[in-house]
Structure 1
């Protein structure tokens, strides 16, 4: 696929909202990141599902949408009160759950899907994790704290021992997925690897010089949640109608994507101004490894290992400890 096709994915730099007081019932300030992993939110936005379910709750909900790259920026905005709901990988949500225990008490709302994340390289000398050197650079959306670097830390711990879980931290750098994909494909920068996500990883793999070294599913032992939505206890408790409407919108978006993959792809293209081939995107949506579900899957693998490595001080008993009750009825993990 030609590089010009990356232009439609969203090579935009988003600025954080200025800090403001918590919003009253009927306002939802929400941010998502880049890629088809956020398809449920694209559907909810396009079909105005949050507003629809808000009316059923007796409240007119005004939704403010933002697009931000990286878990660190998301977490900063949530803690500052600049956003009500943010999206990031399971590990950064767990980190914030741990940090805010007894204070803001941040927890997950729902998952956004079980989608693999691939560690890719364009360096022929790299055949496994053992071959990375100090000259290599691994691009991720948010270094250290994000989904990809935490997954890489767990992979390093399993391969080299817990004491070496930070083995790859010095060569990991922050770069949005669209930019990292372009860098990997051109080979004109210091970046020799990219811990990617859909659809970017599938685009990159169309280039014969790019290959997969590792999947997040390898680390988790099977399909697992990539990204989650999370918020503060204050927002959850003070905005029950808005929260319920949002959760019901996510449920409807899940059913919509599963029943209408072609229309879901059209929505993604429309919402993200994407120039990608619809057939290519439909292949991603229907990939057997991909499931757009709000049920958390294998999130506790991260919780257990992050506590073992000393990243989390609090030790959860199960996945329900760090998700708000609405999603507890599902068969999560």
Structure 2
């Protein structure tokens, strides 16, 4: 995994030079490739896909020939690799990946809008682990991407609070890379070496319901002091400059999808199930969305500056943003983000 991370950062560094020196090609694309991860965090994207909302709003903006292709990756590392390689145009993934690429490309990657800020939950099936201080060297914690995923970074912030600011990386060695479906499968297998998962919905609720002994160790709002954007759309500034109406269409489509989730939650859940194949019943998912923090569907980034401050303090970011608007495109600057 470390070599994978170094490869990604090296690629980002090379691209930083390209973004700085290459002139923008004013050529609007007709097929847009977008990627996301598994989980109900990404429900706005499922609605956008089903209802062709980007296509709808692009047409309204005078770009009628746009089509979209949606790709699901198991983790943010694979997504960022795909963006840097040109395999996808727009990502829907975590705050950590956005900040890392913004930093490494010297502003060549920026956010469009946020999509969700539901809680993440560190779950364990080990009865001896009741708090973050109970993890020993052999206790593995599944996260989507080690060190740079949103879950991995929230774990660092929690470690700094529990053990002292200079101990922020104390649990990095415990983390292993597993996509959320694979991590759920690992916790469900009593013989698997991974007993802990920094989980997202619906896997959080499936684990607590179905895995014997599964219990909550901590929640992200307790660590962050409030909601943290778990998913946002972001892209290269080169793509954004060449496709301004597509960027606006993504914002407008995201808002329409979020509005549907709030106004007709049942229909939104049915679309989510159709697109993802999630076997959880509609009623269970509706109950899930009634849990605290589960209806945080907002365009504005939430909690990202605290996140960025930690990454700069630990040396992961080389540049300290002065405001969240530094790493978001102008299309979002009217929002009340943080």
> Is TM (by shorter chain) over 0.5?
yes
Please state how far the C-alpha of 1:27 moved relative to its aligned partner.
Answer: 2.3
SS of the residue aligned with 1:192?
strand
Match of 1:98 in 2: 103
Give yes or no for the alignment of 1:131 onto 2:134: yes
Match of 2:328 in 1: 323
Match of 2:11 in 1: none
Please state how far the C-alpha of 1:215 moved relative to its aligned partner.
Answer: 0.7
Q: What's the CA shift string for 1:216-237, capped at 9, x where partnerless?
A: 1111101221111110000100
Residue in structure 1 matching 2:187, options 169, 184, 187: 184
Residue in structure 2 matching 1:201, options 187, 199, 204: 204
Match of 1:304 in 2: 309
Give yes or no for the alignment of 1:121 onto 2:144: no
Q: What's the CA shift string for 1:180-225, capped at 9, x where partnerless?
A: 1121122220001000000000111114510000111111101221
CA RMSD of aligned residues (A): 1.5
Match of 1:3 in 2: none
Give yes or no for the alignment of 1:313 onto 2:318: yes
Please state how far the C-alpha of 1:286 moved relative to its aligned partner.
Answer: 3.1
Please state how far the C-alpha of 1:145 moved relative to its aligned partner.
Answer: 1.1
Q: What's the CA shift string for 1:275-312, capped at 9, x where partnerless?
A: 11111111222333121122211111101121112111
Work out the CA distance in 2 between the residues paired with 1:137 and 1:22: 48
Segments of 4+ moved more than 6 angstroms = none
- Give the conservation status (yes or no) of the 8 Å contact 2:39–2:202: yes
> Aligned residues, how many?
311
User: 1:22/1:63 Cα in 2 relative to 1: closer, same or farther (>3 Å)?
Assistant: farther
Work out the CA distance in 2 between the residues paired with 1:246 and 1:48: 11
Match of 1:259 in 2: 263
Give yes or no for the alignment of 1:31 onto 2:15: no
User: 1:193/1:242 Cα in 2 relative to 1: closer, same or farther (>3 Å)?
Assistant: same
The 5-angstrom pairing of residues 131-170 of structure 1 reads 131-170=134-173
Q: What's the CA shift string for 1:25-80, capped at 9, x where partnerless?
A: 32211001000000000011111111111111222111111010111111111111
Work out the CA distance in 1 between the residues paired with 2:230 and 2:249: 23
Match of 2:252 in 1: 248
Give yes or no for the alignment of 1:276 onto 2:272: no
Match of 1:108 in 2: 111
Please state how far the C-alpha of 1:23 moved relative to its aligned partner.
Answer: 7.6
- Give the conservation status (yes or no) of the 8 Å contact 2:26–2:242: no
Match of 1:18 in 2: none
Q: What's the CA shift string for 1:139-186, capped at 9, x where partnerless?
A: 111111111111101111122123221111112101111111121122
Please state how far the C-alpha of 1:318 moved relative to its aligned partner.
Answer: 1.2
Name the TM-score, length of structure 2 as normaliser: 0.89
The 5-angstrom pairing of residues 44-55 of structure 1 reads 44-55=48-59
Work out the CA distance in 1 between the residues paired with 2:327 and 2:131: 34
Please state how far the C-alpha of 1:326 moved relative to its aligned partner.
Answer: 1.3
- Give the conservation status (yes or no) of the 8 Å contact 1:22–1:81: no
Match of 1:289 in 2: 293
Segment of structure 1 superposing worse, 281-290 or 74-83? 281-290
Name the TM-score, length of structure 1 as normaliser: 0.90
Q: What's the CA shift string for 1:230-267, capped at 9, x where partnerless?
A: 10000100011222112211111111111110000000
- Give the conservation status (yes or no) of the 8 Å contact 1:88–1:146: no
Q: Unaligned stretches of 5+ in structure 1?
A: 1-20
SS of the residue aligned with 1:329?
coil
Give yes or no for the alignment of 1:227 onto 2:198: no
Please state how far the C-alpha of 1:91 moved relative to its aligned partner.
Answer: 1.4
Give yes or no for the alignment of 1:69 onto 2:108: no
